[in-house]
Amino acid sequence: MSRICGLASLLLASVMLFACNVQAKELPSFSGTNQYYLFYKSHNMVDKVFADAQSLGLTVIRTWAFCEGAAHDGYCFQPRPYEYHEPTFKQLDYVIAKARQSGIKLILTLANNWSDFGGIPQYLNWYGLYNHDDFYRDQRVKDTYKAYIKQVINRVNTITGVPYKDDPTILAWELMNEPRSYDLPVFYAWVDEMSNYIKELDPNHLRSTGSEGAISSDVYQTHKSDAVDFISFHLYPNWWGFDRERSKQYIREHIKIAREMGKPIFLGEFGIDKQQRRSVYQEWYQILKEEKVEGVAFWLLSSKQDDGSLYPDYDGFSVYYPESSDVIDIIKGYSDYVHLKGIQ
């Protein structure tokens, strides 16, 4: 903790300026990554991730600010409805303070479509529900989700003394990781309701959906709410059966929709098997340059564990610095491009 306690005084001036003068309207250009384990791993492991992100020139990390039900390494934000675990929130306090110290902003995701870390299945289980889309319909579930959002946004960081809603280290809130629905009109209404709810609690930060894009819903309908500030989409050719041309087309299709809507766009996750990763990433990052895409975050930057070994590559998409020599130069090159573009 002592490594960052001195941040409080440094934060005060910038936080006051942010709270008084900034109403977030635009998504800045950035080269970023995803990292899900920050809220439940040691401070040493957190520090290593941020150090590696700095080495890659990354300025944004998308990470989980949710966990329902079962604990991970003793951490879980919401073990039961309306019950919040203070040690887990203190861990998120550390992550946010460390991000600020590292010059990195965070996109915080508030729930999960999948069962990992609880997600929609845990919300449904709490209320004896079985239909996936009852998450978007049932008032008890919606009230529980809203209460959790309020708890997060109104939290005051125990390290910096800064409320999350006033902290410029947080770039944006995402409603959910990869939300899906079989009742799309209900889902679209839910997106509008919840994004407006976040806007009421916190008008300072950007908001988006966390959507995979056209693979799961209509992109326009998902992002048309005035309270949704930018478009989100993901890309996993191995899982979706896309060939190389279809993958490039998928990127361009979403960019076209975003430009027609007049909203920034965020490629929030992407990955492909390591056998073809280098050549494919070269193609994708080149498209992102040509189309001047605002936000990019690959899946997944991992680092060393406390015993010095690399964190396991569970899905086959992990990037390690400096071990992943196949793509390190591509990612760093894109970071340098974004930086140069920003100072021109």
C-alpha 119/C-alpha 179 separation (Å) is: 10
CA angle, residues 42, 45, 49, in degrees to nearest 5: 140
Is the preceding peptide bond at 300 cis, omega within 30 degrees of 0?
yes
178 catalytic? Reply is yes
CB 181 within 8 A of CB 217: yes
Helices first, then strands: H and E counts in the chain: 12, 8
Residue 14 to residues 40, 50, 206, 280, Cα–Cα distance (Å): 28, 21, 18, 40
What does the radius of gyration of the chain's CA atoms come to, in whole angstroms? 19
Catalytic residue among 68, 174, 269, 294: 269
294 catalytic? Reply is no
Catalytic residue among 178, 212, 283, 290: 178
The dihedral through the CA atoms of 67, 71, 74, 79 has a sign that is positive
Catalytic residue numbers? 178, 269
